[in-house]
Structures are given as structure tokens and as C-alpha cells.
Amino acid sequence: MVEFKSNIKSIEWTQKEEMNGVSKMIDQTLIPYEYKYVEIKTGQEMFDAIKTMIVRGAPAIGIAGAHGVCLYAQEFAKTIQNLDEFKTKLKERAEYLISCRPTAVNLRWAVEKQIELINSSNSNIKELIKELIKQAIKLEDEDIKINKRMGDYGAEVVPKGATILTHCNAGALATVGYGTALGVIRSAFAKDPTIQVFADETRPRQQGARLTTFELVMDKIPVTLITDGMCSYFMKKGMIDMVVVGADRIATNGDTANKIGTYTVAISAKYHNVPFYIAAPLSTIDTSIKTGDEIKIEERSHEEVTHINGKAICTEGVKVINPAFDVTPHELIAGIITEYGILRPDYNKSIAEAFEKANK
């Protein structure tokens, strides 16, 4: 078995003393120049950290949201003694946290778990805060276990000696640890060290170039960086054997929102007969929506497109549009790798069955 050196834990609740905990996270905006942890101490700081992508990746921002509720709770406990007032204010701030990145459903999923706890708990303020922290830590621990299970399932469909293309970063940095798409790659590499990865650069924020290559180089998994426009070229040459990417939100028919550019990769994969897989936990499946048309796509700042590292790369005044995600139609997806196995079309059926299994 290959031993992974990186063992990155991207986000972790850290209790300093009673009623004084912080969220410790890797500042992903600094990678690859710096690799350092920052401490997020207030709810507003957490909102800003998610918005500015100090923490990013659907499962990681879910955990960040759960931590954010704990941080607000600690703050409110200093001035509010009435339990009902405390709960009302906390739920209001929880909704505010959900609003900060609209596409990745894991944020809403994790924060709503905290809201459910606030609603169902009969404890006093101090005890309720302890319960919220306990639940946040449980979600953290489960995330890594789920990713490893997903990795084991996914590794089974990786051909021997495969070259795997991935887009954006769905690795340890995008989760608490191990990763979803990169989790599949890690598990496959542990069994077969002859596999290799092609990583799309992923404009505009370059999560592929900055984060995916960083993680894979750290784990000594062979990786080649390509720009986003190159995938069809390499597929035509027969140099890509499969694609695996993460997801930000999956509709019940299998339509999948992921980083902008994923749809293009999926079309090219279909054309070239390359199997295209999604790796995502069930928490990324939004059972309230039937198709990808219902997924709200986050629009981000124009500066992400016009500038690189603070430097303009185009003429001032040019019109810009910057959707952060696109939706890959389910017909292009060979399988959705989850912690309950690999789901295959018809996704309406296989997704419903996976939830039945999970709820048993």
C-alpha cells in the first residue's frame, strides 16, 4: 500500500477553552506560494472566508458553514441570555451563511443540519453550543470516511495504467481530507502506481493549476498540467482513458453542476468515447430539484476574468461575464461515484435507491 504523505486536513474545529473555539483552515488563496493555516474566530469572518474562497470546494464549505453557526453561537452567548431570542438570532445568521455561495448545496445541507439541531434541542444555551460543536466535528470526521469509501468504489472502474483527466480541485483541499475525485485517484494509485493524472488549469481561478497539482505532487502521484482548451486534443490522441470530477449540486435526474468548463470536458469525453464520472457524496444530491435547470449558478467578480494575480490581462473596459459553474446533462455521465456505490443511469432510480440504502 502506498502511504500518502500529504494527509491534508483542510478545515478543523479547534477548541481553545470552553466557549472559545475557532475554525482552523488552510488559506487556499495562498497556495502554491504559501501553505498556512488561518484561524476564523467569528461568524462574519467565516462568511468572508467562504465568499473570498479562503475555503472552497462543496464539502469543505459545508463544514465551514457548520463551524460558522458555532462561531455565531459563541458570540451571541456573550450578550443574549434568553434561549428563544438566542435561537431566533442564530437561525437568522445561519440563513445568512447559506446565502454566501449559492450553487454548492453542501453548504445549505450542513447549515440546515445545525438549524434542525437548534430547533429540536431542549438544552440551555451553553449545552446547545456544545451540541452544535459536537455535530460539526462529527460531520468533519464523517467527510473523510465517506471520501475513502467513495475512493474504494471509484478505484474499481479505473483501468490499469489509466491516464485520468480531472477538472478544478475536488481533492483533500475541497473536502475535509482525501477528496472526492482525487479520493478516487488516491485509492486507484494505491492499488496501481502506474496510473497518472492530467489536470485542467481551470480558469478563471486556476484551482487545477494551483491546488490539484499541489496535492498530487505532494502525494507523488504523476500529474501533467494542461490548459482548459487542450482536453479534446489529448482525447483525440487516445491519451485520456477516463474523466473524474467532483460536483457542487446534483439534481435527482443526475444533471450535475460543477466548476465552469466541466460541461465542455463532458461533451468532448462523450464524442471521444471516454467514460466521464462524477465523484460526490449523497450530501451533494439535492433531492428537492428534478433537473439541472433549477440550479442557481453563482456569478463571480469580473476581476477574476480580467486579472491574474492582480495584473490585468486584457484591455480596460472590456465586457465580461463570469458564471462560476455549469451543468453537465445526465446523458453525458457514465456514473456517479458515491459512498453507497457507483450510481448508473437511470439516475432517478439509482439516486432514489441510494437514499433508501442510506436511510436504512
Measured distance CA(300)–CA(338) in Å, rounded: 29
Annotation says 141 is catalytic: no
**Is 324 near ligand MRU (CB under 6 A)?**
yes
CB atoms under 10 Å from CB of 74, counted, come to: 18
Q: Which of 11, 40, 240, 247: binder of ligand MRU (CB under 6 A)?
A: 247
Smallest gap from Cβ 120 to ligand MRU, in A, equals: 29
**Is 259 near ligand MRU (CB under 6 A)?**
yes
Residue closer to ligand MRU by CB (options 73, 243) is: 243
Residue closer to ligand MRU by CB (options 146, 162) is: 146
Smallest gap from Cβ 59 to ligand MRU, in A, equals: 5
Measured distance CA(60)–CA(248) in Å, rounded: 11
Q: Each residue of 30-68: b (16+ CB within 10 Å) or e?
A: ebeeeeeebebbebbbbbebbeebbbbbbbbbbbbbbbb
* H/E segment holding residue 277: strand 276-279
Which residue is associated with the grid cell 432514489? 352
Q: Can you give the length of the chain in residues? A: 360
- 5: exposed, middle or buried (Cβ count in 10 Å: 0-12, 13-18, 19+): exposed
Query: Which segment (53-61, 112-120, 123-131, 351-359) binds ligand MRU by CB under 6 A?
Result: 53-61
Strands 276-279 and 335-338: parallel
Q: Which of 201, 241, 248, 255: binder of ligand MRU (CB under 6 A)?
A: 248
In one-letter notation, the amino acid at residue 250 is: I
Q: Are 15 and 21 in contact (CB under 8 A)?
A: yes
| Catalytic hit among 143, 248, 255, 326 | 248
Nearest of 143, 149, 104 to residue 247 by alpha carbon = 104
Residue closer to ligand MRU by CB (options 73, 182) is: 182
**Is 170 near ligand MRU (CB under 6 A)?**
yes
Residue closer to ligand MRU by CB (options 54, 136) is: 54
Number of residues lying near ligand MRU (CB under 6 A): 18
Q: What are phi and psi of 135, to 5 degrees?
A: -65, -40
Residue closer to ligand MRU by CB (options 66, 104) is: 104
Q: Which of 21, 57, 65, 151: binder of ligand MRU (CB under 6 A)?
A: 57
Site residues for ligand MRU, window 91-150 (CB under 6 A)?
104
Smallest gap from Cβ 171 to ligand MRU, in A, equals: 7
Q: Which of 23, 163, 180, 256: binder of ligand MRU (CB under 6 A)?
A: 180
Residues lying near ligand MRU in the complex (CB under 6 A): 56-59, 104, 168, 170, 174-175, 180, 207, 245-248, 258-259, 324
Q: Which residues are catalytic?
A: 248
